[in-house]
Every structure is written in C-alpha cells, then in structure tokens.
Amino acid sequence: MSAAGTRDLARVLTLRDLVLIVVGTTIGSGIFTVPGSVLRQSGGDLGVALVVWVLGSVLALLGALTFGELGGMLPDAGGSYVYVREAFGSLPAFLLGWTLFLAINTGSTATLAVAFANYLGELVPLTPLAHKVAGVVMIAAVTAVNIRGVRHAASVQNSRRSRPRAWRCSASCGRMKGGRT
C-alpha cells in the first residue's frame, strides 16, 4: 500500500485505561465464577487449587509480557493477526482472524453474558427465558458502547472498575435476601 493509502489510528487510550482494560478482561467474571470449579476439580484440596491458580497466573503474566514485547516490536494495528502474519505468513493469520471471530471471541462474549445473567438472577428472580434475554441484552449493550468508539468504551470500563465493591456488596445482599449462598 502506498504512503498516501495508509491510515494511522488515533492513540486515545491512556496508561490507566489500558491497565483497567487488562484488569477487567483478565479478572472479569472469571474470578467470581471459576474458583468453585477449580476447587471441585482439585478434590477440595485448597493447596492444589492455589497451585493451579498460581500457575495460571504465571502463564497469564508470561502471555501478557509476550504480547507487550510483540506490540513493541510490531506496533501495527491488528494485534495477534499481525504477529502471526509476520511469523508464519498470510494464510495462518487469515485463519486466526476467522477463528477469533467465529469461536474464540464469541465464546468469551457468551461466557460473560451467562455470568452476567447468573449474577442478575441472584438479585432478581429470572425465568429461563428472562435469563437468556438478559444475556442477549448485555451483549447488545456492550456492542453499542464499543460501536460509539474506543474512548467511550474505555470511559465505561474505567467507571465500571471504580465501583466493584458496591456491586459485589449488592450481589451479596441479593443472595442473602434470596436465601442463597
């Protein structure tokens, strides 16, 4: 592509935005939904569960450091697509892009929608249909926020990360009120 055809993306995210996005996506709903499963799979052994969490954390940190290094070396827009394209060629990068679109990112979004609906169900009673509708509405809301732009999405993420204690307290109060633990 010629120099006249290139387009630079505006860098509108601050360090705080990036840290909060990483924290939000790394922790997200997983920290609230996965610990019980890890403990069950470890046979109820807290030591084994903690080792699993520490190993998972180390792997996540190594992955983040790797992506940080790759981002510094290849600052083009496209992230993992660009890294795979440069390392392995266009076909694997193309396949990665479609895999991200069709399976990986959609699976993450579905997991967050289910977690959202489950927690909403702790606060208010939901029928099975309302549970599904709540998940779909959450996906639509997140989509609308992201369509408005990166800066707007980061502002929503930042405000969301600044109130987690109040939300956790609300969820706990809802569980106590409903008699569930």
Percentage of the chain lying above the pLDDT 90 cut: 16
What's residue 176's pLDDT? 42
Same domain, 112 and 176: yes
Same domain, 68 and 109: no
Percentage of the chain lying above the pLDDT 70 cut: 78
pLDDT, tens only, 114-164 = 888 988 998 999 999 999 999 999 999 888 888 887 787 777 777 755 555
Distances (CA, A) of 175 to 29, 31, 118, 165, 172: 17, 18, 11, 15, 5
What's residue 33's pLDDT? 67
Taking residues 23-37, what's their average pLDDT?
Answer: 69
Same domain, 44 and 115: no
In a domain, 12, yes or no: no
More confident residue, 141 or 166: 141
Taking residues 36-54, what's their average pLDDT?
Answer: 83
In one letter, which amino acid is 150? V
What's residue 6's pLDDT? 59
In a domain, 99, yes or no: no
Taking residues 100-105, what's their average pLDDT?
Answer: 86
Residue 4: exposure state from Cβ atoms within 10 A (0-12, 13-18, ≥19): exposed
Total tally of structural domains belonging to the chain: 2
Same domain, 58 and 112: no
In one letter, which amino acid is 36? G
Yes or no: say if 174 and 41 are a contact pair by the CB < 8 Å rule. Answer: no
In a domain, 79, yes or no: no
Domain carrying residue 65: 33-73
What's residue 71's pLDDT? 84
Residue 40 has pLDDT above 90, yes or no: no
In a domain, 81, yes or no: no
